[in-house]
Amino acid sequence: MENLPQLFASNQHYLLVVLVFILAGMVKGVIGLGLPTIAIGLLSLSMPAMEAAALLIVPSLLTNIWQLGRGPQLILLLRRLSPMLLGICAGTFLSALLFHKINAAWSGLGLGLALIAYATMGLASIHWNVPTRLETGLSSLTGTLTGMVTATTGVFVMPSVPFLQALNLDKDSLIQAMGLSFTVSTLALAVKLASAGSLDWHVAGSSLFALLPALLGMQLGQCLRKKLQPLLFKRCFFIGLFGLGAHYLWGASA
């Protein structure tokens, strides 16, 4: 993490961060998710995944707070999803204890597997329902696994997003629930990085800078949402994630 200020001294990396966060914000503006997944996936091509995760803290936190605040059922969702949200925190900190220092190759392998699993489920349109009697237990398990994946790869979506989709929430409540889940994941990851000494003022400043292109991308995405076919856009999104995940698996096995 000490080389991050030098990293930003390079104009090429500076431009990369701007373009990545514009793209990631645009995807989030169109479909309501994808900012951390896209940003971590692309930035990790040129820096360690945890450095990319540190850059993501401010843009992810503020855009997700904005997203969860726009829905109609925040209090009800907080009550219903509290087992999952507590599990995210527990899983993040448990992973930090179990895997104090993660080998870069293993982190790349985990990131590749998470991206491919998420992309495969999206392309296959896999959907199921969570029985009411099992929801609390599955919610806690899902949160714990999500926290562990977040702590090792920086990706928030697995398996939290498929679980939330299985709750049969209406569109607005689903987007709000994802914003709530991502906000808690971001905060838990920030605490984990700070406790490990991987989050300092230099990183915080760089992360704050990344907020601007992320917000610009979200505005572009919201404008494009009315002109694009959502199904086609999602298919291209998941195909891209699958290819990115395959790239990480190839690099980890090399």
Helix locations, the chain, DSSP H: 4-9, 11-31, 35-43, 49-69, 74-98, 104-124, 135-153, 160-165, 171-195, 201-225, 230-253
pLDDT at 202 over 50: yes
Q: How far apart are CA 195 and CA 197, in angstroms?
A: 5
pLDDT, position 3:
54
pLDDT at 162 over 80: yes
* Distance, first Cα to last Cα, the chain: 24
Q: Judge whether residue 4 has pLDDT over 80.
A: no
> Would the pLDDT of 87 be above 90?
yes
Question: Mean pLDDT of all residues in the chain?
Answer: 77
CA-to-CA dists, residue 208 to 8, 127, 202, angstroms: 13, 36, 10
For residue range 96-154, what is the model confidence (pLDDT) as tens digits?
777 655 555 566 677 777 778 878 877 887 677 888 888 999 999 999 999 988 887 77
pTM score, whole prediction: 0.75
Better-predicted residue by pLDDT, 36 or 181: 181
Q: 13 burial class (0-12, 13-18, 19+ CB within 10 angstroms)?
A: middle
Where exactly are the structural domains of the chain? 4-253
Render pLDDT for 39-83 as a digit per residue (tens, 0 to 9): 877 887 777 766 777 777 888 788 778 777 766 678 889 999 999
State which of 53-62, 179-188, 189-198 shows the largest mean pLDDT.
179-188
Model confidence band, residue 11 (pLDDT cutoffs 50, 70, 90): low
pLDDT of residue 99: 62
Convert the pLDDT of each residue in 232-249 to its tens digit: 777 777 787 787 778 777
What is the mean pLDDT of the segment spanning 15-24? 85
Q: What is the pLDDT of residue 91?
A: 92
166 pLDDT higher than 50? yes
Among 26-35, 82-91, 150-159, 188-197, the range with the most confident prediction by mean pLDDT is 82-91
Mean pLDDT for 206-217 is: 82
Confidence of residue 203 (pLDDT cuts 50, 70, 90): low
Band (pLDDT 50/70/90 cuts) for residue 7 is very low
